[in-house]
Structure formats: structure tokens, C-alpha cells
Amino acid sequence: MFRSNLRRYASKAFMVLLALSMGHPAFAGAEPTIHIVDVKARPTAPGAKTAAVYLVLVNHGVVDDSLTGLSTPIADMASLHRTVDSGGMSEMEAVPDLVVKANDGVTFAPGGLHVMLMGLKQQLKPGDTFPLTLDFAKAGAITVTVAVQSIKIKPKPMQGMPGMKM
Ligand SMILES: [Cu+2]
């Protein structure tokens, strides 16, 4: 009698856990597990055909996801780029597919990852906003608003500098 009650209780507890996990966005797909914040672009000069967008991707889900595509109505093409140092020269390379690990995040920032807009159709002025759509393999398409503003380049952390107190 006690045993079967316990078993019933245990199975009830399991059902609650199951219901909770089903309600989790990773399973239900109700709420995106990918959060995109701090989306911004620098103002451009008149006639400029390219611009870069910076943002922070956070994957709150329990599975890895990957960024597979980008688009915006204000440019002919949007793609993922990374700025790399090659022999003292700063170069950009295309990044075909970016994995955003579960419970992890990726920061796009000057000198590193950025969304490259090519064939820009309008000048970006401070205070402007425009939409950018990011396609994820699992989370699907997510559209965010890019804020045009000046962006300061954060100095690289200085390590091992004599006399520096952290
Ligand atoms: Cu670029």
C-alpha cells in the first residue's frame, strides 16, 4: 500500500517535471532562447556602401544553436565577418556559420566579429534605427532593431603591464 502510494507520488512528480520541461522554451518554442542585445552600428559617411553592426548573442537554451543567415532591408547583403590580424594588417574574413553554445554567449565588437552590411541603401545617422534579421538553425528567424550611435573601441585588457594594479 505504502509502496504503491510512493510510486504514484513519484510518477506524479515525474509528470510535473515533464510538464515544466515541456514549458521550457527549448522544448515548446514559445519564447526564443536566443537573446540578442546591445545591437548597434556606427554612423556612416554620406555615400558609404558598407557598415558594420555589433551585438551580443546569448543562448539561454539547453542546446547549441548556430547563426546561419542575416538580412536587412537597408542593405543588399548582410554577412558575418571577423576582423583578423595578419602580420600587423587588419583584414576581414567571412564567417560562414557561427555556433552559439548552450548557456553561452558571443560578443560582436570592433576588432572582432561583426555583421557586415554591403550595398548600403541609406546613410546611417546617429539616432537612426533599422531592422536586422538573424536566422538561427534551431531558434529560427529573429528580427532586432539596430541603433545607430558612435561606438567607442574598448582598449584591449593590458596584461602584465608593470605598475598596473587591477
Ligand atoms: Cu567586415
Taking the centre of ligand 1 as the mean of its atom positions, its distance from the CA of residue 89, in whole angstroms, is 14
- Residue-wise pLDDT for 107-145, tens only, equals 999 999 999 999 999 999 999 999 999 999 999 999 999
The pLDDT value given to residue 25: 45
18 alpha carbon to ligand 1 midpoint, in Å?
Answer: 44
Evaluate if residue 16 carries a pLDDT over 80: no
What are residue 92's DSSP bridge partners?
A: 83
Q: Is the pTM of this model over 0.85?
A: no
Band of residue 3 on the pLDDT scale cut at 50, 70, 90: low
> Exposed/middle/buried for 83, CB within 10 Å: 0-12, 13-18, 19+?
middle
Neighbours of ion ligand 1 (CB under 5 A): 81, 92, 116
CA distances from 162 to 73, 154, 158, 159, 165 (A): 49, 20, 10, 9, 9
The answer for residues whose C-beta is within 8 angstroms of residue 39's C-beta and 6 or more apart is: 53, 54, 55, 132, 144, 145, 146, 147
Candidates 41, 39, 40, 62; CA nearest to 50 is: 41
